[in-house]
């Protein structure tokens, strides 16, 4: 399995991505049998000094099935016919997964329920209670 390293980029993770290529599975005839077009992209985030321990934990918990015990995040691509296209696709997908795992959701600001909404809810409750009251048996004396 040939291994190569990604060309340096302005993004820190892209510098540390390594690629492995192997035979792709599925139909494809001679092309699939001759060429190693399947690409596996690996990024060792455990050894990346740019990440905090909290960020590393986020990646581990976001993708438990894609993280190895050695602390590598792995993505495969074999949908294209050429290794270069699969390499670009795997790298883009890996960077997208990293961005999504490290994205911090903004804190929700608590809002007050408006008076009109409270009034409408209570009116609906009274209306429902009145309907149910009419379903009761009538006591005749």
Report the share of the chain in percent with pLDDT over 70: 89
pLDDT in tens, 67-84: 999 989 999 999 888 899
Ordered by where they begin, the domains of the chain are: 3-102 (3.30.160.20)
* Residues 19/8, Cβ–Cβ less than 8 Å: no
> Side by side, which strands form the sheet with 17-22?
3-5, 17-22, 38-44, 72-77
Query: Is 27 or 126 the better-scoring residue by pLDDT?
Result: 126
Q: Is the pLDDT of residue 13 over 90?
A: no
Cβ atoms < 10 Å from Cβ of 17: 24
Q: Is the pLDDT of residue 8 over 50?
A: no
Q: Is the pLDDT of residue 9 over 60?
A: no
Nearest to 39 by CA among 26, 52, 20: 20
The whole-model pTM stands at 0.65
pLDDT in tens, 85-108: 999 999 999 999 999 999 988 999
For residue 12, name the pLDDT band (cuts at 50, 70, 90). low
The total number of residues written for the chain in this structure? 141
* Residues 27/70, Cβ–Cβ less than 8 Å: no
* Residues 101/56, Cβ–Cβ less than 8 Å: no
Q: Is the pLDDT of residue 4 over 90?
A: no
Query: Is 33 or 76 the better-scoring residue by pLDDT?
Result: 76
């Amino acid at each position: 399995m040939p291994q190569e390293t990604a060309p340096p980029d302005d993004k820190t993770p892209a510098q540390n991505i390594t690629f492995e290529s192997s035979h792709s599975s599925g139909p494809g005839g001679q092309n699939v049998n001759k060429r190693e077009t399947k690409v596996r992209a690996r990024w060792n985030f455990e050894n990346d000094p740019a990440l905090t321990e909290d960020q590393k934990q986020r990646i581990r918990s976001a993708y438990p099935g894609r993280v190895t015990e050695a602390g590598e995040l792995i993505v495969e691509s074999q949908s294209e016919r050429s290794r270069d296209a699969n390499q670009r696709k795997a790298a883009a997908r890996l960077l997208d997964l990293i961005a999504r795992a490290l994205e911090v959701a903004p804190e929700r600001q608590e809002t007050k329920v408006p008076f009109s909404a409270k009034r409408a809810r209570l009116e609906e409750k009274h209306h429902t209670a009145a309907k149910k009251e009419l379903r009761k048996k009538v006591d005749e004396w």
